[in-house]
Amino acid sequence: MRYSALKILTQGLTGNKGWTPAWREPDPKADYDIIIIGGGGHGLATAYYLAREHGLRNIAVLEKGWIGSGNVGRNTTIIRSNYLLEGNQPFYELSLKLWEGLEQDFNYNAMVSQRGILNLIHSDAQRDAYVRRGNAMRLSGADAVILGPEEIRKTCPYLDFENARFPIQGAIWQPRGGTVRHDAVAWGYARGADERGVDIIQNCEVTGFQMDGGTCVGVETSRGPIRAKKVAMCVAGSSSRVAEQAGMRLPIESHVLQAFVSEGLKPTLPGVITFGAGHFYVSQSDKGGLVFGGDIDGYNTYAQRGNLPVVEDVCEGGMAIMPMIGRARLLRMWGGVMDMSMDGSPFIDQTHIDGLYFNGGWCYGGFKATPASGFCYAHLLATGNPHPVATAYKLDRFRTGAMIDEKGAGNSPNLH
């Protein structure tokens, strides 16, 4: 069913009796061409682009719980393409371009809102670094503007410009950045994939891999064995647990990132604002709540909750740039489990096992990457070659020395 304003009108006039479920609930078949493990944003996007771009139909997405129950519904919904390094920036710019056309593409309202992202500058050295980053962004075709404090005052007069320790000296602004309604991304991709014949199978946990002479030929699941020509892992947050079933050790640790929402306020934030001297980012949802977050907790965990020291640290970051936030009450907080990789960058690659593919290591930047991750993973699965903007995301890059370390923190996953 194609959604449109006319559809809403005619359904409204006929008692809304004609709406149908957005996707089917099929039983798994005995075999598929491609099995995607993980019905999160990336897995569903992969299935969608396999069907749409490559004409493949015989695909299953296996999800342990319900689709969108993981990190696609637990993030702070920010989209941007403001990376520095060559291996990253063209990939994230492709993602932002896909976000811009996404709703028309899959005929679903994902509330893509390009309100801009403002990364504040607090020192001369930081301005130099951000100017360099802005140039790298523009070279990749993205947009970046360096602003002075007077220009920022026009839209955000409430920021603490004269803060004694972290005065605001300017910002790098990406007008095309913004936020997206995250659950709708999962639902839109699921509906689009299902429409094109993809089987989305929920409550189906993968418990093992079927191997035949060193080739992966299928999976064992809680709903029985399923064979496939290609098996694609896409379970960031749980990558090590799933890969372990194939005997793989990964350059990944699992960490928790917390997110927070304040009580609803009148419209006050024009877009996304980030603190440059600490780690704090904030936007305002359409319901009015301030949605914000900061650092990961720093210890390995699979629990979807964090601890209070990080809550304090994040709130201090908020107070440092935006003292008025101290008058708002914290309404909700939660945690999501991240694949933290050894250089802070993700993987989209074949594994050393024939027929087994890997997508993961998204650290806490996976949401904005959802469309490009699906697009490039689909390209790899369909053609056997990495997409031109995702050639750097190799699993063996630590062996070859081709790391993509945006932060320059080395092999310490909890510092990226």
Binding footprint of another protein on the chain (CB under 8 A):
240-241, 249-254, 298-303, 307, 309, 342, 398-399, 411-414
- Shortest CB 295 distance to another protein, Å: 12
DSSP 313-363: HHHHHHHHH-GGGGGSPEEEEEEEEEEEESSS--EEEE-SSBTEEEEE--T
Instruction: Closer to another protein by CB, 252 or 380: give it.
Output: 252
- Shortest CB 7 distance to another protein, Å: 45
Instruction: Closer to another protein by CB, 11 or 412: give it.
Output: 412
* Beta-sheet pairing, 170-174 with 117-121: antiparallel
- Three-state secondary structure call for residue 372: helix
Beta carbons within 10 angstroms of residue 335's beta carbon: 21
How far is Cα 237 from Cα 253, in angstroms, rounded to an integer?
A: 9
Tokens of 150: 């007077």
For residues 138 and 201, is the Cβ–Cβ distance under 8 A? no
- Shortest CB 316 distance to another protein, Å: 13
For residues 309 and 295, is the Cβ–Cβ distance under 8 A? no
- Shortest CB 310 distance to another protein, Å: 9
- Shortest CB 343 distance to another protein, Å: 9
- Shortest CB 280 distance to another protein, Å: 18
Instruction: Closer to another protein by CB, 301 or 370: give it.
Output: 301
* Beta-sheet pairing, 31-37 with 226-234: parallel
- Shortest CB 238 distance to another protein, Å: 8
* Beta-sheet pairing, 31-37 with 59-62: parallel
- Three-state secondary structure call for residue 7: helix
Instruction: Closer to another protein by CB, 107 or 307: give it.
Output: 307
For residues 404 and 397, is the Cβ–Cβ distance under 8 A? yes
How far is Cα 98 from Cα 77, in angstroms, rounded to an integer?
A: 15
Instruction: Closer to another protein by CB, 301 or 350: give it.
Output: 301
CA quadruple 217, 221, 223, 224: dihedral sign? positive
Instruction: Closer to another protein by CB, 309 or 323: give it.
Output: 309
Instruction: Closer to another protein by CB, 100 or 253: give it.
Output: 253
Instruction: Closer to another protein by CB, 98 or 242: give it.
Output: 242
Beta carbons within 10 angstroms of residue 226's beta carbon: 23
* Plot region of 185 (φ>0 → left; ψ -120 to 50 → alpha; else → beta): alpha
- Shortest CB 303 distance to another protein, Å: 6
